[in-house]
C-alpha cells in the first residue's frame, strides 16, 4: 500500500495486533509507529 502526503511519499504497513508480526530493515530508514486501540468498555 502506498501513501502520499504533499511531497512526502512512503509506504503504509498494517500489522494486526492479534497476529504475530515483525519487521526487518534491509537498509536504514525512519519509521513512525502509530498504535490505534478501541475505547475501553
pTM over 0.85: no
**Measured distance CA(22)–CA(14) in Å, rounded:** 11
As a whole number of angstroms, the distance between CA 17 and CA 9 comes to 25
Half-sphere exposure of residue 35: CA atoms within 13 angstroms, side-chain side? 4
Q: Specify the number of domains making up the chain.
A: 1
Grid cell for residue 5: 502526503
Structural domain including 30 reads 1-41
**Distance from C-alpha of 38 to C-alpha of 19, rounded to nearest angstrom:** 17
Q: For residue 22, give the C-alpha cell.
A: 515483525
**What are the pLDDT digits (tens) for 1-41?**
555 555 566 777 777 788 888 878 888 878 888 888 888 87
Amino acid at each position: 500500500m502506498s501513501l502520499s502526503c504533499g511531497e512526502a511519499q512512503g509506504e503504509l504497513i498494517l500489522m494486526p495486533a492479534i497476529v504475530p508480526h515483525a519487521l526487518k530493515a534491509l537498509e536504514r530508514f525512519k519509521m513512525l509507529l502509530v498504535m490505534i486501540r478501541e475505547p475501553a468498555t
